[in-house]
Amino acid sequence: MLEREVKGYLVDTSAKVGTYVIPMGLMEASRGLSLEQILQSRASVALADVVLGRIYGKALNYTRKRFGTEGKTGIKSYLVDTATMLAVYDPAYALILDSCGADCDQIKSATAFLSVILALTARPFSKYILDNWRRYWGTELTV
């Protein structure tokens, strides 16, 4: 059981960190963050994903099961996957930017932009990257 949890943790975390590091860095640059702030933010997010990546994975399993969207397509699956990603990552991201010295306007702007990015990418990420990464490594989709 411990081995399965550790493997699930590594799979969920690596999928999230690997997928979003470059697009989010580019977004932060477009929002006016300095290179130092971007590097701090990306490092902080990678560290946060050590915890949040698996929390998101578990939350996604739970919400998919709760709303009956596991393995299904359509608007309901899109909404469940997107709402789960936003609920986990928007608050954490705002706190990370604050700790990196971003001002209130930068935090609001970047977090709003993040919400748009996640609204467009959460479902494709979960369906095509995370689910396939889990399948490739043989990790169970357990709540």
**Does 57 fall in a domain?**
no
pLDDT value of residue 140: 63
**Does 143 fall in a domain?**
no
**Does 62 fall in a domain?**
no
Distance, CA of 93 to CA of 114 (rounded, Å): 9
- 72's enclosing H/E stretch is none
pLDDT value of residue 143: 47
**Does 65 fall in a domain?**
no
**Does 16 fall in a domain?**
yes
With tokens 């994903």, the residue in question is: 49
Which of 50, 8, 2 minimizes the C-alpha distance to 135?
8
pLDDT means per 10 residues in the chain (143 residues)?
84 86 87 89 84 88 93 92 94 88 90 90 90 87 53
The number of beta carbons lying within 10 Å of the beta carbon of residue 27 is 18
CB 53 within 8 A of CB 89: no
Residue 117 structural domain:
2-52+73-137
* Residue 97 burial (10 A CB sphere; 0-12, 13-18, 19+): buried
pTM of the model as a whole: 0.77
**Does 67 fall in a domain?**
no
**Does 60 fall in a domain?**
no
- The total domain count for the chain is 1
Residue 113's Cα: distance from chain center in Å? 14
